[in-house]
Amino acid sequence: MLEIGGVRVDTLAKTYKTPLFVYDEDQLRSRLQEFATLFRSHTMETGILYASKAFSCKAMLRLVKEYGLCLDVVSGGELYTAKAVDFDMSKVYFHGNNKSKDELEMAMAYGVGTIIVDNLMEAQMLHEMSQTIDHTIHVLLRVNPGIDAHTHKYIVTGHVDSKFGISLLQEKELVEVIKTFDEDEHLSFDGLHAHIGSQIFDKNAFVAEIEKMFGFIKHLEDTYDIHLNTLDLGGGFAATYTSEDHPIPLDEVCTTILSHCEKQNQALGLSIQKILIEPGRSVVAEAGSTLYTVGFMKQTPNKNYVFVDGGMADNIRPALYQAKYNADIANKMEAPKDTIYTVAGKACESGDILIEGIALPKCEPGDLLITYTTGAYGYAMASHYNKNPLPGVVFCRQGKVREVIRRESYAHLIDLETDE
């Protein structure tokens, strides 16, 4: 029987029901520690902002806090979760291309340290709103460097017409925004932010991003006398989903990024003092798995289906991005994988296929099917489609289980419905 964090998964399934997100807490911890240890430089200040959109809950944010990382939030809800664990607000960075006035007010009231401004209208709104505060908010400006990181097209955020950030080609607008900040005594403009995509395997994409950004910073200095001290390079480091994925080892990606930034500083005579990264997926993906119970099976002329009690509602990634996953039958780990299955979910949707053509031991109803690397953008993107309750989430460590998010009941599903 498969164990995670020293806990048998059949015990988990029995106690917490399936589908269930199961995290190996030691794996989460060692990943956070690795980032904290590896992303360091002798010559520059560094910061790691955990992108909480990948997986945000109180237990996760408490771990992020424990390892001293900063936090990237993109909504009032993620910010509220940070507040709920008393996260040091000076270490919170607020992202988003369409923050509402309410969200910005909330950020100001909470004392959020840095706001990443996405566009001209946001800059103007922030400038107006900042007149009423009595503290300083740090500001980064999101730019779009136009780098194609060769990932799935839905996940690329860096092409010229992206909805995120101001393109480096729109220099006038960029300079106008920076001038708005300069005139504001409550806003301290620190520098630029860029994010070139997600699930990036090629470290040269980051090198290209760094060269482009430093080149532009030099241009701002020479042409407009604008001096910056911070560069936020975004997230995007890949995780291993199947044996076809070979992410750049973390030490290599950290060294590449930092040494290139140091080199660029020297070569261009710049003095960028702070380099930030925003990993989400690479922190949490591999530590998480999803446990399902096998129900019916059926054969069609060309396929062998095995149906599980979850699917696209708890993992939209295969349907949305054609993402690939690996799986096992957790109660048959030693059995020969002699049957090719299509693993399908229970949603009323033909596209609700979790895995196409995977070799597994012969399945029977009641078997526990586990999909790996579901720790990022799994629970975070889960929905109530077909009115199924959201699964629970447990953290397992050294033989002990913590239920960090309870499974929803049917009552939760109609909790907000009125009798009007």
- 157: contact with ligand LLP by CB under 6 A: yes
Here the tokens at position 300 are: 């069609």
Site for ligand LLP in 367-396 (CB under 6 A): 377
User: Residues 67-100, buried b or exposed e (16+ Cβ, 10 A)?
Assistant: bebbbbbbbbebbebbbebebebebbbbbbbebe
| 3-class DSSP state of 352 | coil
Pairing of strands 392-397, 20-24: parallel
Query: What does the per-residue mask of binding to ligand LLP show for 291-330, with x meaning CB under 6 A?
Result: --------------------------x---x---------
Here the tokens at position 360 are: 């597994």
- Near ligand LLP by CB under 6 A, which window of 231-239, 289-297, 358-366, 383-391? 231-239
**348 given a catalytic annotation:** yes
Pairing of strands 187-193, 137-144: parallel
- Near ligand LLP by CB under 6 A, which window of 39-47, 278-286, 356-364, 384-392? 278-286
| 3-class DSSP state of 351 | coil
321 is in an annotated binding site: yes
Among 70, 254, 348, 396, the active-site one is 348
Q: Residue 290 or residue 293: which is nearer to ligand LLP going by CB?
A: 290
23 is in an annotated binding site: no
Using CB under 6 A, which of 76, 191, 279, 310 touches ligand LLP?
279
- 236: contact with ligand LLP by CB under 6 A: yes
- 54: contact with ligand LLP by CB under 6 A: yes
In contact, 400 and 9? CB cutoff 8 Å: no
CB of 325 to ligand LLP, least distance (A): 12
CB of 238 to ligand LLP, least distance (A): 8
**DSSP code, position 77:** H
- 235: contact with ligand LLP by CB under 6 A: yes
| 3-class DSSP state of 369 | strand
* 66 CB-contact burial (10 Å; exposed 0-12 / middle 13-18 / buried 19+): exposed
Indicate the residue type of 242: T
Using CB under 6 A, which of 76, 158, 234, 311 touches ligand LLP?
234
Site for ligand LLP in 94-113 (CB under 6 A): 95
Site for ligand LLP in 179-218 (CB under 6 A): 195, 198
CA distance 215 to 28: 36
Size of the site for ligand LLP (CB under 6 A): 20
269 is in an annotated binding site: no
Q: Which long-range contacts (CB under 8 A, 24 or more apart) does 253-259 make?
A: 253/203, 253/206, 254/38, 254/39, 255/38, 256/203, 256/206, 256/207, 257/39, 257/206, 257/210, 257/233, 258/39, 258/40, 258/41, 258/44, 258/46
CB of 158 to ligand LLP, least distance (A): 10
- 278: contact with ligand LLP by CB under 6 A: yes
Indicate the residue type of 384: H
Residues binding ligand LLP (CB under 6 A):
51, 54, 72, 95, 155, 157, 195, 198, 234-237, 278-282, 317, 321, 377
Annotated binding site: which residue ranges? 236, 278-281, 317, 321, 349, 377
